[in-house]
Amino acid sequence: MVKEKIDFLTGNDAIAYAVKLARVKVIAAYPITPQSPVTEKISEYIANGEMDAEFIEIEGEHSCLAAMRGAGACGVRIFTATCGPGLMYAHENLEMVHRDRIPLVIAVPNRSYSSLFADYTDSMCEATTGFIQLFVESPQEALDTTLQAFRIAEDHRVLMPLMVLYDGYVTSHTGATVRLPSQEDVDRFLPPFKPYAVRIDPSRSEFIQWDTPGVPLQEMEHEQAMTNAKEVIKEANEEYAEIFGRRYGNGLIETYRVEDAEAALVTMASMTGTARHVVDILRDKGERVGLIKLRSFRPFPAEDFIELQEKYGFKALGVCERDVTHGCNYGEVYGDLKASLYDLADRPKMINFILGLGGSDIRVQDLQFAYQKVLEAARTGKVEKQTWFGHEIGAVEIRLAGF
């Protein structure tokens, strides 16, 4: 039997608690809303002697990622958190952390650039930087995923940095009951960090240059690592379930009532809870609808979507996302998913729903509307256009915010 405590925690506090349980050795951070409570909490743990770690109160996010890269090169477990403009400011060194294959875990309560509230403008900018990106739904999943994150990122088949992504304010600041594992159970799941290669080790006297191999080869190795990560994410999810009894689909995606569904929505992070509720309402009315939650955006689980499509033969899929690629009029997930399914003979009609930008609410009626649209597409075989919420039905007031 595992020992657990139950507490009422926000997503931020749940992550800070996981970082303590993971026995992280060096943390650097710079404040930004809605991330700050994560590192405030960690500072308290250290100040109270509950956690034995170095905390670098750094002077900005660009430096923060450089410091994490430096500490990671010494072969110790490391963590940071940032979001929005902070994540974008760190871009140059995010890229370096991935190039050096440093298994940094970074918590990102997603926020838009031009507001303090949730959307994926920030992390989508980093979709090509080689970070694993796991979107989580709730404070519980945030805690569980943070613990799994160290296992995944530090696995010698992977060695890629990882972002734990959760909706700013919606998940970062909203309390929920969270099961807190005991230190000894976590120690069983997450043993001390065994670095693959310690780049900075003064006890060694061999000649080590940090120089990187040829770029094309290096890029292929990163791609292989990301492919490996799919298996490793699944394994971590299963082993976590064995010890703690909680499982998030197969680790990459999670399905809800997809059997016999003619249409389904793909959702991410906190909107998934609302979508489950809507599926239940529609199923009660006899509609054959289902739901697929995307947990791993990077690596993108194309094979899992293909398998689902081959198994269930959805007539239409709708992708709901809090981001848009300007100039394409669709979101990143929609583009990736459409590309993944393109080669199938029996491919579904697809609609993109851009919603929740700048933290605007994602309501039951919004997702009901989305289901109605995919059902129509399933039946008529016709897709009109992408749908931006806040125009058709969402309440959108265009204001100039001065943050």
Partner 1 sequence: MSDVVAVERVTIPPTGACQGCAMVLISRHALDTLGRNSAVIIPASCGAWSGAMLIDRGPTQFPSAAAAASGVARGLKAAGHKNTNVVVIAGDGGTYDIGLQALSGAAERGERIIYICQNNQAYMNTGIQRSGATPRWAWTTTTPIGSVIQGKTVWPKSMPEIMEAHHIPLVATASIHNIPDYKRKIKLAQRLTTEEGKGLSYIEVLNTCPTGWRYSPEKMVAMARLAVETGFWPVYEVVEGKFKLNIKPKTLKPLKEFLQMQGRFRHLTDEQIAEMERWVHERWQRLLERDERGY
Which amino acid, 312? Y
Whole-number minimum distance, CB 50 to partner 1, in Å? 17
Q: Kindly indicate which of the ranges 53-61, 135-143, 231-239, 262-270 contains the residues binding partner 1, using the contact rule CB under 8 A.
A: 53-61
Choose which of 2, 46, 56, 383 interacts with partner 1 (CB under 8 A): 56
Asked if 63 touches partner 1 (CB under 8 A), the answer is yes
Copy the structure tokens of residue 222.
């990163």
Q: Kindly indicate which of the ranges 164-172, 198-206, 267-275, 301-309 contains the residues binding partner 1, using the contact rule CB under 8 A.
A: 198-206
How far is the CA of 193 from the CAs of 22, 23, 105, 119, 197, in angstroms? 10, 9, 13, 33, 12
Choose which of 3, 5, 47, 60 interacts with partner 1 (CB under 8 A): 60
Q: Kindly indicate which of the ranges 32-40, 55-63, 268-276, 329-337 contains the residues binding partner 1, using the contact rule CB under 8 A.
A: 55-63
Q: Kindly indicate which of the ranges 48-56, 235-243, 290-298, 313-321 contains the residues binding partner 1, using the contact rule CB under 8 A.
A: 48-56
Asked if 359 touches partner 1 (CB under 8 A), the answer is no
Cβ burial, residue 373 (10 Å; 0-12/13-18/19+): buried
- 104/178 with CB nearer partner 1: 104
Asked if 22 touches partner 1 (CB under 8 A), the answer is no
CA-based R_g, the chain, Å: 21
Asked if 209 touches partner 1 (CB under 8 A), the answer is yes
State whether the Cα torsion 5-7-11-13 is positive or negative: negative
Give the footprint of partner 1 on residues 82-111 (CB under 8 A). 92-93, 96
Give, as one character, the DSSP assignment of residue 360.
-
Whole-number minimum distance, CB 102 to partner 1, in Å? 10
Whole-number minimum distance, CB 74 to partner 1, in Å? 3
Whole-number minimum distance, CB 25 to partner 1, in Å? 4
Asked if 328 touches partner 1 (CB under 8 A), the answer is no
> Residue written as tokens 């490996």?
228
Choose which of 68, 164, 190, 282 interacts with partner 1 (CB under 8 A): 68
Whole-number minimum distance, CB 68 to partner 1, in Å? 6
Q: Which of 296, 300, 184 is nearest to 243 (CA)?
A: 184
- The span from the CA of 8 to the CA of 384, in Å, is 44
- The span from the CA of 301 to the CA of 296, in Å, is 7
Q: How many CA atoms lie within 13 A of 326 on its CB side?
A: 3
- 208/395 with CB nearer partner 1: 208
Whole-number minimum distance, CB 232 to partner 1, in Å? 24
Contact 265, 173 (CB under 8 A): no
Asked if 76 touches partner 1 (CB under 8 A), the answer is yes
- 40/287 with CB nearer partner 1: 40
- 66/226 with CB nearer partner 1: 66
* Count of residues engaged in binding partner 1, rule: CB under 8 A: 42
Whole-number minimum distance, CB 163 to partner 1, in Å? 19
- The span from the CA of 32 to the CA of 82, in Å, is 7
Contact 47, 72 (CB under 8 A): no
Asked if 229 touches partner 1 (CB under 8 A), the answer is no
Choose which of 173, 199, 247, 347 interacts with partner 1 (CB under 8 A): 199
Q: Is the peptide bond between 31 and the residue preceding it cis, with omega within 30 degrees of 0?
A: no
- The span from the CA of 331 to the CA of 40, in Å, is 33
Contacts of 363 (CB under 8 A, 6+ apart): 274, 394
Cβ burial, residue 22 (10 Å; 0-12/13-18/19+): buried
Q: Kindly indicate which of the ranges 67-75, 168-176, 246-254, 373-381 contains the residues binding partner 1, using the contact rule CB under 8 A.
A: 67-75
Contact 342, 350 (CB under 8 A): no
Instruction: Give the three-class secondary structure for 65.
Output: helix
Choose which of 25, 98, 234, 349 interacts with partner 1 (CB under 8 A): 25
Query: Which residues would be at the binding site for partner 1 (CB under 8 A)?
Result: 25-26, 28, 53-54, 56-60, 62-76, 78, 92-93, 96, 198-205, 207-211
